[in-house]
Amino acid sequence: MADGKRAGAATPSIEVEAGPRTVRISNPDRVYFPAVSLTKRDLVDYYLLVSEGIVRALALRPCMLHRFPDGIAGEKVHQKRVPRGAPPWLETVRVTFPRYNRHADELCVTEIASVIWAVQMSTVEFHPWNSRRPDVEQPDEWRIDLDPGPECDWARVRRVAGVTAQVLDELGAVGFPKTSGGRGLHVCVRIRPDHGFGDVRRAALAFAREVERRAQADVTTTWWRKDRDPAKLFVDYNQNARDHTLAAAYSVRGTARATVSAPVTWQEIPDCEPDDFTVLTMPARYERLGDLHAAIDDSAYDIAQLLEWADRDERAGLAEPPAQGE
């Protein structure tokens, strides 16, 4: 960790081994998290330690980078395009944005060296798509974002997580929970890549409405933020819309304490706190438990039943809100 170095202080470059490759790290002692004295080198070391987990979470997915060139106290840059001058071994995936008639060649992680290169480029957070390079228009991951309102406490998030787990179990779907790195929880479910983003979003909305039915005192699916009860938890189905991303499992977040979007077990949720998981605490946890999402690719859920729920809801007059990010 840093010993009083300034965020902008220049220090000699180093070279680190990242799998079979060597990646040059400039200014390794630049402080990124002043409150906990964490440096760029500390980020590199963290991502190397959780390499198997972060590569699994990002593998073959278009990935948006959240960069902090001057540390988290400075400006955050959302970067989709890999810049010119990237090493020749770095892999990318092309995605299009029809609304703007544009495209971007985004980072496509296939090895830990890609992650370390991104950290060298001042990346703190990794935000992957829910589809992969073989067909970026066919998602293979359904994301359940348990997003607390400004007055929603963690106890409510825990309760809704329990209902979420129950509904998933009844569907026969395997959910892999993780903290968001903020105040909420995410659940990742591998699905068959048989549908486009529109159908996956409809399925996610149908699931959210079922959770709301079972936990009406705690949950809202109200679309417009201004109309939501601030004390309730929003099950954010729109995270499954095209070009919407979530922080990956094991991604560091740009928070003062360097929190991490940490995989957890369902059994841990009643007793854990969001701030338990940071760059400082995760190494020992990962060494002890390994990657809690290691089995995420072992099975893929068929969303057909959720689409039947969506059809039922629409026949009952529950309209689908407009998608954003198309």
pLDDT at 9: 53
pLDDT at 3: 47
Share of the chain above pLDDT 70, in %: 96
pLDDT at 325: 40
Q: Which residues contact 12 (CB under 8 A, 6 or more apart)?
A: none
pLDDT at 259: 98
pLDDT at 6: 46
CB atoms within 10 A of CB 172: 10
pLDDT at 4: 42
Which residue positions in the chain have pLDDT lower than 50? 3-8, 325-326
pLDDT at 170: 98
pLDDT at 324: 59
pLDDT at 319: 86
pLDDT at 101: 86
- Which tokens belong to 219? 């949950």
pTM: predicted TM-score of the whole model, two decimal places:
0.94
Listed residue (296, 245, 199) closest to 106, CA to CA? 245
